[in-house]
Amino acid sequence: MKIFRGEQMVDSTCQVIYSQFGLAIHQNDHQARRRFVEWAQNEIAVVPYFHKRILFSDEAHFWLNGYVNKQNCRIWSEANPQVYVERPLHPETLTVWCALWAGGIIGPYLYKNDEGHNVTVNGDRYRTMITNFFIPELNNHDVQELWFQQDGATCHTARATIDLLKDTFGDRLISRFGPVNWPPRSCDLTPLDYFLWGYVKSLVYADKPQTLDHLEDNIRRVIADIRP
């Protein structure tokens, strides 16, 4: 078995298993990742600060009981190791969206319904967030200089969502079904997964919040305190 950190390479007998989904890296994933990184390197060669113009975005779940979904835990195995993670059947949860770039953080945005109850994300709620929260937040920035990245979650990639984002960013969209393809299963390429969520979760439970409102206050405070 051969394992290299960073751009992951293994021999033909080994695959990486995502324990929470039982999802293996696909055969063509490595090439997709290389194509994206080479594209980014070419852009940086022309505009040295290009990478500082990318708004990376993502959602994360925050459980009131302090359960942390260890997104970056990977098990290398020739077969699915059938690892199971126990979690509460009906946990109280906040779903939080942020965009992170060199200029700071846009967000957090917490998904709620019209009655103010916490909900998970779907396509309609995601588009509502973009229209009512994200785009207005961009009014303080030169959007013509910015790129937007999102992963390939179904709620992100409906045709209506891609069209909505193109109205704002044009061809400066990094996404599945977008002008620039975001390689699937590449969570270690986005700073939200390898920094932001883990950092925030390491702090918001320090005072053991007992209510969702308390947890929400902690999330907003911790993110607001992060300097560019």
Q: What is the pLDDT of residue 12?
A: 44
Looking at the chain, how many residues does it have? 228
Q: What is the pLDDT of residue 3?
A: 37
Q: What is the pLDDT of residue 127?
A: 97
- At position 121, the amino acid (one-letter code) is V
CA distances (Å), origin 15, targets 12, 23, 76, 152, 214: 8, 10, 6, 21, 41
| pLDDT tens, position by position, 42-84 | 999 999 999 999 999 999 999 988 755 554 455 556 677 666 6
Residue 48: DSSP 8-state:
T
Q: Which two tokens stand for residue 178?
A: 């977008």
Owner of token pair 């039982």: 22
CA distances (Å), origin 187, targets 4, 79, 182: 16, 21, 10
| pLDDT tens, position by position, 105-126 | 999 999 999 998 999 999 999 9
> What is the C-alpha separation between 173 and 55, in angstroms, rounded?
10
Which spans in the chain are helix H? Answer: 29-46, 123-129, 135-137, 154-157, 159-169, 191, 197-204, 212-224
Q: What is the pLDDT of residue 88?
A: 58
Q: What is the pLDDT of residue 9?
A: 38
